[in-house]
């Protein structure tokens, strides 16, 4: 495990000057993930906050090669780059010992929803790529519309709370499980508040041959509506309540990386976020109960899978 | 040594792919282009090609893989048709906007609904504004020849634009023909080494590819892109000539058939032009001064050259194998008609839509068109500027 001091002294691959919001989880995540390999790196980025905020022509925040083509196809685009790398190595136009890592990146919109098919296809084909989803629970780049990662009861602009609605009515999709079902070598969930865990997982993902997938909880003060100075504490609450369990599945073997000493109620997670504010109305009490039930079910299932 | 081989259109394309051995081939099977993809897969399985063959889960991803691979730096091809091309639509514009010289073989097929697997040009003509160079083929030989030339044209450093090569679905894709297949080495020599422009895999530089433009740069970048396709005509001409010198079959923007002293002309692309030649021969034997002009390059449209070739006609019929609902005439017609606008004395010109969904067009249909043109030329009157051929009303 690298020391924080060593990591901090590495050259930044995502540099200052980008336009992401104060307290945004994205730069936090990627400044850690991009340090997890020292090999040359090529990134394909889906349309979204990270893409828009870092590359307003003629400026760029990328100190590493970066490609954007569209919203739903970061996995297919990086698969294309990786295929060319393989072809040119085979044809002797790239030296045999030349190492390059390939990283696909998208938000939950570009990954859980519109890009799910391309991601599924790319990992099923076994490209040697890493895909990182920064899951901020909504289409935050376009003002906070619901995604399939938006939790039950959260108010989003296309699932707003109102006199006749308690916000999003559906249970969130478990994308990590879907990726596990592809039987790829490495799948993990991480959160920026446990940076060593995130760093280790990213390192593993880059090192493993074949497709690897990281789903990372991404703080969004703008759309979750909380005090941006409290982001890391909120992420800690996410793992303490088991709303976002930290675990990894390596060659089919489950491992929970963080067991809360005392599992906290989902209430602790929702109470500081404006997107859940309406859940404290009497008529919406059932939503919070249901949310708690879902989190409990998922946690029990995960523990079983990890033989705990 | 060039050899004669009996191949259908799809096999002719696949044969060219084997000879060229692009670095990455990414394609999703769809009727009627499936056999191109299957044949490439088999070539790969048999060790006859060294490039990577990727079989993505959709055409959208196939074009996305092509875009990633092409920006990585190397030669890239795909094949598709109809709904597959429609699913690629978004990425077609991006391939052109990123100036990636991807080459696509398209077995032209109608678009749903109603679903129909047969040949018409709705797919590629629908993609006419995506920024791709478009080449159309009359037969298997032309499909093979055009596909080889497409790499030279698209990869030219002044052009750097993706190219699609159309061959009519089933009519050409599935018809056996004896074609001249050139020597592998000669084809490779003709194509030459791939010339890289800012390949992403060159990790000695850190590049940002595909950033966001606001109102301050988008327009200029689009203008640059347009310049690329505007630079294509001399390249298309030079490549077509060189191909002729090397392999004996010269190509230009269009083919003229019995046009020397013609007063009447039928303008039609692709396989139907072959049938039209027979009709022209029959009409000629009946003393009619009729000829055929077969556009080969639809984008960039050779408006001046085509107008020059047509300006002295008394009457012209443009035949479109696609429609543009609600427009004043189908796409090829509007191009030809607009090209003639600047002449003080212009030929009479009419438009017929034919062959949608693979509906047959026969010699007798072309002869009817010829007789209509003769009447228009005699009377100087156009009764019906826009009509259909072989359609039950």
Q: What is the pLDDT of residues A84-129, one digit of tens each?
A: 999 999 999 999 999 999 999 999 999 999 999 999 999 999 999 9
pLDDT category at A1 given cuts 50, 70, 90 is: low
The H-or-E segment that residue B267 falls in is: strand B264-268
Q: Which of B65, B201, B217 sits opposite A94 (nearest CB)?
A: B201
Q: What is the pLDDT of residues B132-154, one digit of tens each?
A: 999 999 999 999 999 999 999 99
Q: Which of A56, A67, A91 sits opposite B209 (nearest CB)?
A: A67
Exposed, middle or buried by CB within 10 Å (0-12, 13-18, 19+), for A303?
middle
User: Which residues in A lie closer than 8 A to residue B208 (C-beta atoms)?
Assistant: 55, 60, 62, 65-66
Q: Is residue B289 predicted with pLDDT exceeding 70?
A: yes
Classify domain A10-305 at the CATH superfamily level.
Thiamin diphosphate (ThDP)-binding fold, Pyr/PP domains (3.40.50.970)
pLDDT category at B290 given cuts 50, 70, 90 is: very high
Q: With an 8 Å Cβ cutoff, is A196 touching chain B?
A: no
Q: What is the pLDDT of residues A179-189, one digit of tens each?
A: 999 999 999 99
Task: List strand residue ranges (DSSP E) for chain B, in order.
Answer: 3-7, 24-26, 52-54, 76-80, 103-108, 133-137, 163-168, 177-181, 208-209, 254-257, 264-268, 290-295, 297-299, 315-320, 348-353, 386-388
* Chain B residues 318-357 within an 8 A CB cutoff of chain A: none
CB pair distance less than 8 Å for B201 and A80: no
Q: Which residue has the tokens 């740069």?
A: B217
Exposed, middle or buried by CB within 10 Å (0-12, 13-18, 19+), for B340?
buried
Report the 10 Å Cβ neighbour count for A58: 10
User: Which residues in B lie closer than 8 A to residue A124 (C-beta atoms)?
Assistant: 57
* Chain A residues 12-41 within an 8 A CB cutoff of chain B: 40
pLDDT category at B244 given cuts 50, 70, 90 is: very high
- Mean pLDDT, all residues of chain A: 97
Q: Is residue A3 predicted with pLDDT exceeding 90?
A: no
- Mean pLDDT, all residues of chain B: 98
Q: With an 8 Å Cβ cutoff, is B209 touching chain A?
A: yes
Domains of chain B are: 3-247 (3.40.50.970), 255-388 (3.40.50.920)
Residue of chain B nearest A98, judged by CA positions: B203
In this predicted structure, what is the pLDDT of residue B228? 98
Q: Give the tokens for residue B177.
A: 């023909």
Q: With an 8 Å Cβ cutoff, is A294 touching chain B?
A: no
CB pair distance less than 8 Å for A73 and B98: no
Q: What is the pLDDT of residues A133-172, one digit of tens each?
A: 999 999 999 999 999 999 999 999 999 999 999 999 999 9
Q: Give the tokens for residue B21.
A: 């051995």
Q: Is residue B180 predicted with pLDDT exceeding 70?
A: yes
Q: How many angstroms separate the CA of residue B233 from the nearest CA in chain A?
A: 28
User: Which residues in A lie closer than 8 A to residue B51 (C-beta atoms)?
Assistant: 87, 91
**Mean pLDDT, range B97-110, rounded to an integer:** 98
**Mean pLDDT, range B168-180, rounded to an integer:** 98
Q: Is residue B306 predicted with pLDDT exceeding 80?
A: yes
Q: Is residue A199 predicted with pLDDT exceeding 90?
A: yes
Q: With an 8 Å Cβ cutoff, is B219 touching chain A?
A: no
User: Which residues in A lie closer than 8 A to residue B201 (C-beta atoms)?
Assistant: 42, 81, 84-85, 88, 94, 100
CB pair distance less than 8 Å for B91 and A73: yes
* Chain A residues 63-102 within an 8 A CB cutoff of chain B: 63-70, 72-73, 75-88, 90-91, 93-94, 100
Q: What is the pLDDT of residues A215-264, one digit of tens each?
A: 999 999 999 999 999 999 999 999 999 999 999 999 999 999 999 999 99
Domain boundaries, chain A: 10-305
Q: Is residue B50 predicted with pLDDT exceeding 80?
A: yes
Q: Is residue A176 predicted with pLDDT exceeding 90?
A: yes
Q: How many angstroms separate the CA of residue B23 from the nearest CA in chain A?
A: 6
Q: Which of A52, A55, A73 sits opposite B60 (nearest CB)?
A: A73
Q: How many angstroms separate the CA of residue A57 from the nearest CA in chain B?
A: 5
In this predicted structure, what is the pLDDT of residue A4? 85
Q: How many angstroms separate the CA of residue B97 from the nearest CA in chain A?
A: 10
Q: For the whole model, what pTM was predicted?
A: 0.98
């Amino acid at each position: 495990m690298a020391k924080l001091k060593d990591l901090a002294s590495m050259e930044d691959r995502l540099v200052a000057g980008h336009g992401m919001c104060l307290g945004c989880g994205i730069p936090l995540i990627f400044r850690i993930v991009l340090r997890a390999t020292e090999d040359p790196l090529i990134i394909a980025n889906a349309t979204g906050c990270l893409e828009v905020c870092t590359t307003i022509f003629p400026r760029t925040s990328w100190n590493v090669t970066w490609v954007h083509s569209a919203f739903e196809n970061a996995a297919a685009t990086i698969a294309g780059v990786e295929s060319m790398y393989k072809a040119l190595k085979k044809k002797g136009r790239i030296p045999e010992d030349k190492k390059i890592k390939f990283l696909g990146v998208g938000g939950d919109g570009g990954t859980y929803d519109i890009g799910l098919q391309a991601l599924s296809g790319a990992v099923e084909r076994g490209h040697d790529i890493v895909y990182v989803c920064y899951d901020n629970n909504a289409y935050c780049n376009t003002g906070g519309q619901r995604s399939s990662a938006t939790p039950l009861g959260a108010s989003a602009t296309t699932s707003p709370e109102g006199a006749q609605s308690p916000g999003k009515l559906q249970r969130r999709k478990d994308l990590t499980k879907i990726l596990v079902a592809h039987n790829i070598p490495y799948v993990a969930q991480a959160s920026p508040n446990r940076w060593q865990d995130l760093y280790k997982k990213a390192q593993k993902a880059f090192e493993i041959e074949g497709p690897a997938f990281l789903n990372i909880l991404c703080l969004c003060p703008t759309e979750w509506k909380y005090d941006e100075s409290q982001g890391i504490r909120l992420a800690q609450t996410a793992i303490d309540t088991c709303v976002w369990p930290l675990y990894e599945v390596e060659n089919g073997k489950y491992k929970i990386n963080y067991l809360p000493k005392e599992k906290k109620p989902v209430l602790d997670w929702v109470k500081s976020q404006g997107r859940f504010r309406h859940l404290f109305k009497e008529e919406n009490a059932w939503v919070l109960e249901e949310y708690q039930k879902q989190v409990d079910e998922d946690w029990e299932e995960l523990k079983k899978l990890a033989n705990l | 040594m060039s050899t004669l081989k009996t191949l259908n259109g799809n096999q002719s394309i696949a044969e060219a792919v084997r000879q060229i051995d692009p670095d990455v081939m990414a394609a999703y099977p769809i009727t009627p282009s499936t056999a191109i993809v299957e044949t490439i897969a088999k070539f790969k399985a048999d060790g006859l090609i060294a490039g990577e063959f990727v079989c993505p889960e959709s055409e959208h991803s196939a074009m996305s893989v092509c875009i990633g691979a092409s920006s990585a730096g190397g030669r890239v091809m795909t094949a598709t048709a109809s709904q597959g091309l429609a699913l690629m639509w978004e990425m077609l514009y991006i391939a052109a906007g990123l100036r990636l010289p991807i080459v696509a073989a398209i077995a032209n097929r109608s678009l749903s609904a109603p679903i129909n697997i047969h040949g018409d040009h709705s797919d590629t003509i629908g993609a006419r504004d995506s920024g791709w160079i478009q080449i159309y083929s009359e037969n298997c030989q032309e499909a093979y020849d055009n596909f080889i030339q497409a790499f030279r044209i698209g990869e030219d450093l002044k052009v750097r634009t993706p190219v699609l090569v159309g061959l009519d679905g089933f009519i050409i894709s599935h018809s056996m023909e004896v074609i001249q297949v050139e020597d592998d080495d000669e084809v490779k020599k003709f194509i030459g080494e791939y010339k890289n422009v800012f390949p992403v895999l060159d990790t000695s530089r850190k590049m940002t590819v595909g950033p966001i433009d606001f109102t301050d740069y988008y327009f200029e970048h689009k203008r640059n892109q347009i310049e690329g396709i505007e630079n294509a005509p001399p390249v298309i001409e030079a490549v077509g000539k060189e191909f002729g010198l090397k392999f004996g079959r010269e190509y230009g923007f269009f083919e003229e058939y019995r046009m020397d002293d013609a007063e009447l002309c039928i303008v039609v692309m692709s396989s139907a032009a072959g049938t039209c030649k027979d009709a022209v021969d029959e009409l000629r034997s009946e003393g009619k001064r009729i000829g055929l002009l077969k556009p080969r390059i639809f984008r960039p449209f050779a408006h001046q050259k085509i107008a020059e070739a047509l300006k002295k006609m008394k009457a012209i019929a443009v035949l479109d194998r696609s429609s543009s609902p609600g427009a004043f005439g189908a796409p090829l017609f509007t191009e030809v008609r607009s090209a003639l606008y600047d002449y003080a004395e212009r030929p009479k010109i009419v438009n017929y839509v034919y062959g949608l969904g693979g509906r047959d067009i026969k010699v007798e249909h072309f002869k009817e068109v010829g007789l209509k043109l003769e009447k228009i030329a005699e009377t100087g009157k156009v009764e019906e500027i826009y009509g259909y051929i072989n359609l039950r009303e």
